Amino acid sequence: MATFRERALAVASSRSSGRFCVEQGPISTYFGQNVFTVETMRKYLPAKAFTAVLEARQNGLKIERAIADEIASGMKTWAMERGATHFTHLFQPLTGATAEKHEAFVVPGDNGIAMEQFRGAALVQQEPDASSFPSGGLRNTFEARGYTAWDSTSPVFVLDGTLCIPSVFVSYNGEALDMKLPSLRSIHSIDKAATRVAAYFDPSVTSVKVNIGLEQEYFLVDEALYNSRPDLQLCGRTVIGHTSAKDQQLEDHYFGAIPSRVIAFMKDFETEAYKLGIPLHTRHNEVAPGQFECAPIFSEITQAIDQNMLLMIVMQKVAEKHELKVILHEKPFNGINGSGKHCNWSLCTDGGVNLLSPGKTADGKLRFLSFYSCVLKALAEHNHLLMASVCSLGNTWRLGGNEAPPAILSVFSGSTLAKVFEAILKMESVDWESGAKSISIVGSIPEIILDNTDRNRTSPFAFTGNRFEFRALGSSANPASATFVLNSIVSDSLSLFADKVDKLLADGEEKEKAILTVIREFLEAARPIMFEGNGYSREWQEESARRGLRSVGNAAEAFHAFQEDSSVKVLTSTGVLSKGEIEARVEVMEETFVKKLQIEARVMGDICLNHIIPAAISYQNVLARNLKACSDIFGDEAPSLSKAAAKSFREISTLVNSLSDGITDLVETRKKANRVENMSERAIRYSTEVMQRMSKVREAADRLEMLVDDACWPLPKYRELLSL
Ligand code: ADP
Ligand code: MG
């Protein structure tokens, strides 16, 4: 009888050629058709309601109940025309995923007749019985109410017959239980601070927004193969598996021709994404076999984050039709690249000026340097916090390995800018030749650095011409965690910048000189995180330690960065998180870390005991029969004739025993760790003792994979999983 693996392989190979994909015609004809855009709103809402939504979006004004009823009614009409029967608030709880609870529009009327109804109250607020979401103690279970409230800055849309309403998730007392609320707060904070600084250069600036572009990496695996790997199914990654003889050494997959089966999937999910208004722009093969990337054109941050969360859902839904599984985990396969979510981040004024773009004029360049130095200063001070914001169990397996960014933060500016900074730093604070020299340095920044930035792929935070690219985010993560921290620390630094400049101006300093003085001070403070070299090198590890930069190699330890005084100060003073919310978040992160690792360790034990050891032993039986037959037939000659079989038998015995002992040890270690009451301590135990045991077990299992007859190996191997 064929093994499970053989059957799965047969199924997978039968569909390795291209699949159907629905051709849709020009994208512009259906782009955004499932979104309640401003244009659609204009058609479906009475004038007063339309204005109310726009004002709520722009100025955060509250929408009155009566108006909300009108908005809801228009939305319902539109959504029903698009086939919607239900609505849901779509929120982003601390699990990192999205959550939804659908409710039907239908209500029973008189005489058994039903009718559709959607009230303003339901649009504005929903009260899901959300007591099972992690809250880190912010909600007592007896007071388990959590509310979702419509975020009117993000448009509603229809997905699979449901009207989805982007929402924040808050506790009864208004504390953030999600990723969205801190994100909105951080946008508000950086808007205020950045506007202050931007106004030195253009007093007409009234607001500054954050733009981000998120590059999404992912793996694709055939569904049949995925279903025969319990680890992929339950953990999203392989907990055992020997590397393939050929994986990414030749880098022949990177930017290679996209396999036909994959392109069919890509076209289909892109179509769905376009209908939802997600402006996908690029698609390509990534470095690892089976790995791909897509990226939309950047947009305003709330939209970009909401769309990224939606994109991850859409990709997975569409993949089902293609009998594929999208793997969003940060490190699904050992030994080859993991997946990230590069976050391209910039600031833009209401007049459309990119504040991270070195302008044409000396004034524009000074503005650029002001913002740039504020980002650097923020990172120098809070680099550990920023790195902690991307920490998770999944990212632990990725950071610092195979071309993933190092687990230490540094900023790459490119040689041109680095030279400019050096020149500015070398100037004596008093002997500025009345500013002339400094201005000429500022003026010498080339207009388009974009083309000059030598793209340093080893830096977790690189300047790429008119934006920063933060590359340490995990592929499955809600990007809000990293961006609300980034917005918060930069906001703080911009406020400080403005305070300092204002003080100098009040003391009678000339504007340009005042600004340059603070730029210099900030650049000086930022020296430790500026690094232009190879972030993967051993020298950098030593050098970064000398500079006092901390690694987030251990996520369980890194989470505590949120609780350090400087972090609490910056997050609370910018209004992004309260002290209580920080505590709660750390607890949730630790608990999630422990639970996920516990599942991984259990799955590992299960696979070894139920799949690998039995396979190894049955192969040993084959070897034993061979050895016996050899000795029966050849007598004294047998040992030399059956040397290979005997060697295999011995090696397998040793490995099976060490695997079995390793599992026992792992279970014991886990049990002991589970008895530790304090969650922080338990997480540390898991991150050290449990993880160490897991890698020992894995080593034995992976070596067995090389020794046991391929025909009786129970799980699809890397070379099979990674070929599409
Ligand atoms: P690469 O892989 O070469 O870094 P991609 O084209 O895959 O580049 O992705 C770059 C991302 O950066 C896109 O989402 C793009 O829209 C975004 N981007 C470009 N300019 C800006 C900007 N000023 N601010 C934020 N994001 C930007
Ligand atoms: Mg890219």
> Looking at residue 12, what is its pLDDT?
81
- The verdict on the CB of residue 298 being under 6 Å from ligand 1 is yes
Q: Provide the b/e sequence for 263-285 (b: ≥16 CB within 10 Å).
A: bbbbbbbbbbbbbbbbbbeebeb
> Looking at residue 455, what is its pLDDT?
67
Which atom of ligand 1 lies at the shortest distance from residue 213's CA? 14
Full-model pTM? 0.95
- The verdict on the CB of residue 299 being under 6 Å from ligand 1 is no
What is the C-alpha to C-alpha distance for residues 171 and 645, in angstroms, rounded to an integer? 65
Q: Which residues pair with 412 in a beta bridge?
A: 462
Give the type of residue at 221: V
DSSP designation for 549: P
For residue 215, how far is its CA from the centre of ligand 2 (angstroms)? 6
Residues 394, 236 contacting (CB under 8 angstroms): yes
For residue 639, how far is its CA from the centre of ligand 2 (angstroms)? 58
Query: Mind listing the domains of the chain with CATH numbers?
Result: 31-175 (3.10.20.70), 187-577 (3.30.590.10), 592-721 (1.20.120.1560)
> Looking at residue 453, what is its pLDDT?
55
How many separate helices (H) and strands (E) can be counted in the chain?
26, 18
Which residues lie below 8 Å from residue 676, measured CB to CB, with a gap of 6+?
A: 682, 685
> Looking at residue 434, what is its pLDDT?
44
Residues with beta carbon < 5 A to ion ligand 2? 215
> Looking at residue 2, what is its pLDDT?
67
What is the C-alpha to C-alpha distance for residues 508 and 514, in angstroms, rounded to an integer? 9
Closest residue by Cα to atom 11, ligand 1, is 213
Residues 499, 363 contacting (CB under 8 angstroms): no
Closest residue by Cα to atom 17, ligand 1, is 213
Mutation probe of ligand 1 site: the residue of 298, 348, 372 with most atoms within 8 A of C-beta: 298
Which residues lie below 8 Å from residue 382, measured CB to CB, with a gap of 6+?
A: 485, 489, 566, 567, 570
Q: Mind listing the pLDDT tens digit for each residue in 19-48?
A: 566 767 899 999 999 999 999 999 999 999
Residues 409, 379 contacting (CB under 8 angstroms): yes
DSSP assignment string, 431-481: -STTTHHHHHHHHTS-S--TTT----TT-SEEE-SSSEEE--SBTTS-THH
Both tokens assigned to 97 = 């995923």
Which region, left, alpha or beta, applies to residue 483 given φ > 0 means left and ψ of -120 to 50 means alpha? Answer: alpha
Which atom of ligand 1 lies at the shortest distance from residue 296's CA? 14
What is the C-alpha to C-alpha distance for residues 561 and 283, in angstroms, rounded to an integer? 35
> Looking at residue 457, what is its pLDDT?
77
For residue 509, how far is its CA from the centre of ligand 2 (angstroms)? 45
Which atom of ligand 1 lies at the shortest distance from residue 297's CA? 16
> Looking at residue 435, what is its pLDDT?
47
Q: Which residues pair with 149 in a beta bridge?
A: 125, 168
Which region, left, alpha or beta, applies to residue 207 given φ > 0 means left and ψ of -120 to 50 means alpha? Answer: beta
Mutation probe of ligand 1 site: the residue of 300, 344, 346, 372 with most atoms within 8 A of C-beta: 344
- Give CA separation, 117 vs 108, 316, 480, 502, in Å: 10, 31, 33, 55
> Looking at residue 430, what is its pLDDT?
34
> Looking at residue 429, what is its pLDDT?
42
Which atom of ligand 1 lies at the shortest distance from residue 346's CA? 24
- The verdict on the CB of residue 107 being under 6 Å from ligand 1 is no
Residues of the chain scoring pLDDT < 70 = 1-2, 16-21, 23, 129-130, 140-144, 402, 428-455
Both tokens assigned to 336 = 């080859």
What is the C-alpha to C-alpha distance for residues 338 and 348, in angstroms, rounded to an integer? 32
Helix 362-388 with 415-426: angle, nearest 10 deg = 100
